[in-house]
Structure 1
């Protein structure tokens, strides 16, 4: 038997070793090549992508400019808010940091849970611990924005307060600028609003002057910390932003408060779809107040301001348009006010159209045509003056009166009047438009015309922002570019006739229910039938009511328009006489009472009409000089104190009010402006409800004033 050959064990092991070595070497060389490709060949690309993802050049927002009222009160400003985060990495890496973290983390988690009330203490502790274990350098603790007082409170939390500086505690406050309106909802839609400085839904002054308010962006390198947070890159020298300008509006906060209160009262009574009120200063065209309110079941009052009907909602103006029509007639024919017009049975028939008066008036004078708001009388006068061939001449009169082109008002967008050119007129256009139908106008367009009547015939463009400033420097004077006519709209004779008729509307015409004021009102009612969705033509009983006019009747200072869409009630109880004229008078009465320059100076004594009353009021220090210089009453020494004024049985008692430091002041009896001033100066937050003067405050006067406490005040 042959001898069996034994395997060479050593050779077998050697071969296997070399095979394994070659495989390992091949893998190593492959990995080495891959590393070379990543680091050397593709490294620049990857580094560039990483840089673009986590470090990039970003815009730096400029400080947005403030918006002021005419007396310098802040209507809108930018306040810093803070989002709380932390860098957990500073609490790791050595025994001292670990011990510091263990000692204070329970207290911090409990404080965060108690403050934010969105997680338990254990959840906050685990959130911080997980970020610490993963080596994260930034952790957003909560999305809520903190004000300055809340920021100070957070710094008093355990761990944060024990560390001598933020480099040891890891606390991070990301600053975010937000827009704040000190007067809350007052003039809300006019001033405008934005949720934050990046908001695309801004409106009002905030929108129309966004470029000026926004300023110029800066630019710098920022490192991305999480989805919402970026930090400046150390060592970078950014291009600094240029702050926006401050805008000075023409709005008067006191008149705005009066307007909003009166408009709300009218809407609560007549339940209209929406209501508009605008107050303009006659000689300057400055808008002193502008309010739009519409039904809103979600609002505490049932109404809110979400759309600028004054500029954007155009309607058939109705009888307020008779005045420009009669102005054109008087300019064309120079009729006397005594000219007689036969209105017959109160119906005017032309082709297939019939226009009616509210009731037959028979033969009346031209003056009575406006006083009684006769459709038939107006149409007959226009037909007699312009016939059927002078359509373009009538149109040119309206163009001269600024009733064809856009006002080019500062707030955008705004609507242009809808009035067809004569070449597109049908047989009814001339006469129907003369009484305010087959056309569309916004309330501001109509008011601008009536303001010219009050301003000795001179038309002036309405304006709501007077200037832009940076510090004490006037950057832009908008009054300098405001359009003003160098010639009056009509002759002095025509103007005088129109003023007589407008005064007659109130003393003996369709608005005689608001006569009797000591200062005198002139104006015109307008009750236009409105179209109804889904129905053809106009429907009786559905009205758009207007009252446009001015006061005082001699030397007018203010012009006002009130409009209410589709007031509810019986047909003849929802005319402008019942709906808008009383709102006009309420506004005019209250403006007259607060504007001492409109009133006759009383020489050293009070009239019996006042002496027989018991009067009391809380006065702001700045108002004392005005009050006492015009009423001749005893005066408290000028010491910057608030004042209780009391009058009873011809005896005047003035008592200075001492505001005790660090306590909640008594604001009952103050108006909203003064109450806000007194409370916010104590570091309190204020929420107001209602209009008028304060009747109740949620934190009693004399209570210790805890910073940032919320005070509810009720006005009536």
Structure 2
């Protein structure tokens, strides 16, 4: 009996000792958690029940100058993803999803089977140019998912997508890639304004992410991107693109560009380059090497005879141009080089006025000699081209990325170089430089900085925040520009630019047919030309300036020149532009504007 009692007491003691040890351990653990390790655990707990979420701002829309027509905007879109554990049959899923998303079956399978961390339970279907899909794709997806179980585990999530008007003003606008990063154009140049600033929200949540309280612990709303109104006029832009596209096909040209500007402000009313691309289908239509650059601001080529306008204006400003004085056309010897007119035999003895009308190289060489090296350099710089004795010139400052600046001699202007520059050979400039130089002739002598942004608006309050004011400086006397306009009117009325004329509108301008230099440095290429025309109307009081250039056009059974190719194209664009601006040709005729 005594033995049993003793064993019972020992058992009770052991149980009590074990209980005491367990209790002590619990007390020590509680002490550790509440004191020593409390901060770390608190942080871990907050991660489990507090959620921080970035609030994406809405990117600003881009409008044409009327503020009525969208050029770029955000639209509802969907991103597709897979919950990997729920996908039952990868092959069937890939078959259904491939046709829906416009990719191959193998691409879907590769995505489903790609290496990933063990903790990754889901994936997004993101392929080059195939990421965000329109609402119609989502609607087809929901119907397919209802009809069979091949799409089990596949989900669609709402998001926003940048939308454009196809290839409309593609190079001017640029685009957003699949990572929402801007590539080129207005999208890149004004990205900070368009993008806005992200916001933030922090709140307590349930396991499934639902907010527990009505008021978040932290809330910073996003700052929405600003809306932009550009100087582009959709009506003129569409006409320019249509005419340029047709000309590219007709003349089988390698490339082409067209610019329409308001000479009174420097506003760009239209700008197009070809080949072009569809901003909504980048993966299928965009290629950096083939159509990725904006020829209007990024290309540099010899201007040819359109540059003669600078030499002419400088000679008139310096009172060195005498229209009725005569010279022997055809050819002229400069040191050991003989330079000829585009018509090698010339036209005999003609006046300088006729020399301008006929685009005589000899006439402009003689004007360049009268001006001399220093004055010619000075006027070229005044017209915005920069110092041509340097390697590169001066950019116009247009609000587009990747603007070129011209490529020059990087040295002295010797007599032969002075001669060639006088008629637009031996130097490379950009189309936008030429446009602004001619705008100065058209507006009475002010060189403006070209610009595409007209207004900035707040997209929430719909209030205008900023209006861009013209920026320019006077470079010529108004009387000089009046005389130049009269001479350029004669070029179109009875000279090389006759194909650009519009009855009743009185067009003025200058043609250009520039031989392309050999990239290997051996003179010029045979039968390879950039043909161009730059002009304005009405000649007496210009409303618009138009520039056209085509790279290596060809005419079956004829000669492709600035007069035969670019001038008639410019005429069509001028007509549309003047109609949009409601310039009444009958009124002009009644006023006898010439």
Deviation at 1:553, TM superposition (A): 2.3
Helix, strand or coil: the match of 1:510? coil
**Per the alignment, do residues 464 and 158 of structure 1 end up closer, same or farther by CA in structure 2, a change over 3 Å counting?**
closer
Residue of structure 2 in register with 1:453 after alignment: 441
- TM-score, length-normalised on structure 1? 0.62
Paired residue for 1:497, among 483, 494, 501? 483
- Pair 1:70-2:65 in alignment: yes
Among 465, 468, 482, the residue aligned to 1:478: 468
Matches within 5 A, 1:303-322: 306-322=292-308
- TM-score (structure 2 length as normaliser): 0.74
Choose the corresponding residue for 2:510, options 500, 515, 524: 524
Deviation at 1:417, TM superposition (A): 2.9
Q: Quick one: distance in 2 between partners of 1:52 and 1:441? A: 60
- Tell whether the 8 Å contact from 1:274 to 1:295 is kept in structure 2 after alignment: no
CA contact (8 A) 1:327 1:494 kept: yes
In structure 1, distance between residues paired with 2:225 and 2:237:
26
Which of 548, 552, 571 is the equivalent residue of 1:585?
571
Given the alignment of the two structures, is residue 349 of structure 1 paired with residue 333 of structure 2, yes or no?
Answer: yes
Partner SS for 1:573: coil
- Which digits, 9 at most, give the CA deviation of each residue in 1:27-73, with x for residues without a partner? xxxxx9xxx9xx98999889989999999967543110000001121
Q: Distance in 1 between matches of 2:132 and 2:477?
A: 61
Distance 1:231 1:277 in 2: 54
Q: CA RMSD in A?
A: 4.5
Residues 1:269 and 1:115: Cα distance change in structure 2 (over 3 Å): closer
1:365-404 counterparts in 2 under 5 A? 365-386=351-372, 391-404=373-386
Structure 1 residues not aligned, in runs of 5+: 1-31, 92-104, 120-135, 161-168, 224-229, 603-716
Aligned to 1:542: 528
SS of residue paired to 2:439: helix
* Aligned mates of 2:378, 2:48 — CA distance in 1: 63
Report if aligned partners of 2:317, 2:480 keep a CA contact under 8 Å in 1.
Answer: yes
Work out the CA distance in 1 between the residues paired with 2:228 and 2:405: 26
3-state SS of 1:459 partner: strand
* Residues 1:440 and 2:440 aligned together: no
Name the structure, 1 or 2, with higher relative contact order (CA <8 Å, separation 6+). 2
Residue 417 of structure 1 corresponds to 406
Gaps of 5+ in 2: 1-24, 103-118, 278-283, 387-393, 589-594
1:88-487 equivalent positions in 2, closer than 5 A? 117=100, 145-148=132-135, 174-181=157-164, 183-196=165-178, 198-200=179-181, 202-220=183-201, 237-294=218-275, 306-343=292-329, 346-359=330-343, 360-386=346-372, 391-404=373-386, 405-420=394-409, 424-470=412-458, 471-479=461-469, 482-485=470-473, 487=474
Name the SS for the 2:248 alignment partner: helix
Q: CA deviation at 1:286?
A: 1.4
- Alpha-carbon separation, structure 1, partners of 2:524 and 2:530: 11
User: Aligned runs of 1:19-38 on 2, under 5 Å?
Assistant: none
Q: Is the 8 A contact 2:257 2:548 kept in 1?
A: yes
Cα distance change of structure 1 residues 290 and 158 upon mapping to structure 2, 3 Å threshold: closer
How many residue pairs align between the two structures?
510
What displacement does 1:330 show? 1.7
Q: Which residue of 2 is the match for residue 8 of structure 1?
A: none
Shift of 1:156: 8.0
**Cα distance in structure 1, aligned partners of 2:167 and 2:551:** 22
**Residues 52 and 437 of structure 1, relative CA distance in 2, 3 Å threshold:** farther
Distance 2:174 2:276 in 1: 19
1:558 corresponds to:
544
Corresponding residue of 2:21? none
Q: 1:575 aligns with which of 551, 556, 561?
A: 561
